[in-house]
Amino acid sequence: MDSFTLSSMVSTSSSDFVRCYIGGSSVQPVAHLQSVFSRVSTHNARVASTKIFLKTSVSSSSLSSCPFFSGLSLRLAPITKKGELVKKSPVLRIAAQASGADSSDAHSDETPKVDTAAVAKSDAAHRLKIGTYFAVWWGLNVVFNIYNKKVLNAYPMPWLTSTLSLAAGSAIMLISWALKIVDPPEVDADFWKSLAPVALAHTIGHVAATVSMSKVAVSFTHIIKSSEPAFSVIIQKLVFGENFPLPVYLSLLPIIGGCGLAAATELNFNMTGFAGAMISNIAFVFRNIFSKKGMSKGKNVGGMNYYACLSMMSLVFLTPFAFAVEGPKAWTTGWQAARLAHGNQILWWVVAQSVFYHLYNQVSYMSLNEISPLTFSIGNTMKRVTVIVSSIIIFHTKVLPINALGAAIAIFGTFLYSQVKQ
């Protein structure tokens, strides 16, 4: 039987997998070798230190529709368990040839020398970078929540406040592109079309969360928002038909129970604030689902530029609704009252909350380029802990022991979810 013999060595850790990529200048990922070929047998697979040696034979009968016949190439790249391509890892391109391929067509199985000191230094630098991302992300988020609550207490105009946050981010990125601080994205109509549902969901989630924080304590809003994983599983199951293993469903019990306990024992419970946080959860679940499809479109559309484009389109969506719901008359009257009570300090609060909102979201999107979904989920859980604790301290929020227990259970459930989901 005719066969194609692919032999290569890729650098990866012993816990990683190998995924197949097919394509010419634009390489498109394909699930696994097994999903591309009807029959795949892997030989000579062995792990030595940080090297995996892979030799795969594929029968020609299973390649009747394979693009190898069009002269395209196959390349093997290491990916993590979470399914992310490690961008800076070595990638070997291997051209497939029809029958007659022999050992001379394959790459050598000899292990090249590895500079272990350089690898260790690179790993340390990467860990430092991730640690810095987390510290900045959490710090900016805490500062935003503090100033946002100060503004909403003095000037309860959540629709305008939400609009100003998006406007500040859009202005920051437009200036950055104009001054060549950041390379502008190269996008087309298809990109904006794919971004539209993401931006709509982001707009709803953003304004709903702001409305929530205008009615209840920051800590309570974030406790309710910690139930987002439950909404994610339910929506993906009911709307998209995705199935999850039993441990994922079980991890939702402490999330739902903890949030329910916290809500039932909240001293300053407000239905509008509670509903706003719940709507925000649902909207952000859809945003995350739609985002997976949109981030691959366009050029120079990394985390920073993607969020910039998202902010601009969300601003377009939100502005007319802000005028319709609140309007200039209410804004003017409210601003005069806020200036009378707080002086020029209110202006600084508005500017600070707008700028810090964009910065913390920008850093979170940038971190997605560097870390796995699991690490991001854990970081997001710990971010909520940081915000809840800091807001309770700064605003002297009264918390009953039973309320604190509910919050702890919900957050612990979120952590369990992030573990079993992977």
Q: Answer yes or no: pTM beyond 0.85.
A: no
Rounded mean pLDDT, 264-282: 91
Q: Give 299's pLDDT tier (boundaries 50, 70, 90).
A: low
What pLDDT was estimated at residue 205? Answer: 94
pLDDT tens by residue, 9-34: 333 333 333 333 333 333 333 333 33
What pLDDT was estimated at residue 163? Answer: 97
What pLDDT was estimated at residue 367? Answer: 76
> Within a 10 A sphere around the Cβ of 328, how many other Cβ atoms?
9
- Dihedrals phi, psi of 55, to nearest 5 degrees: -130, 120
User: Concatenated DSSP letters for 124-138?
Assistant: HHHHHHHHHHHHHHH
What pLDDT was estimated at residue 218? Answer: 92
Q: How far apart are CA 213 and CA 148, in angstroms?
A: 8
Q: Are 14 and 47 in contact (CB under 8 A)?
A: yes
Q: How far apart are CA 349 and CA 66, in angstroms?
A: 59
> Crossing angle, helix 116-154 and helix 373-395, to 10 degrees?
40
Higher pLDDT, 98 or 115: 115
> Within a 10 A sphere around the Cβ of 419, how many other Cβ atoms?
14
Q: Which helix (H) or strand (E) holds 48?
A: strand 41-48
Q: How far apart are CA 303 and CA 354, in angstroms?
A: 19
> Within a 10 A sphere around the Cβ of 316, how many other Cβ atoms?
14
What does the domain layout of the chain look like in residue ranges?
Answer: 3-99, 121-420
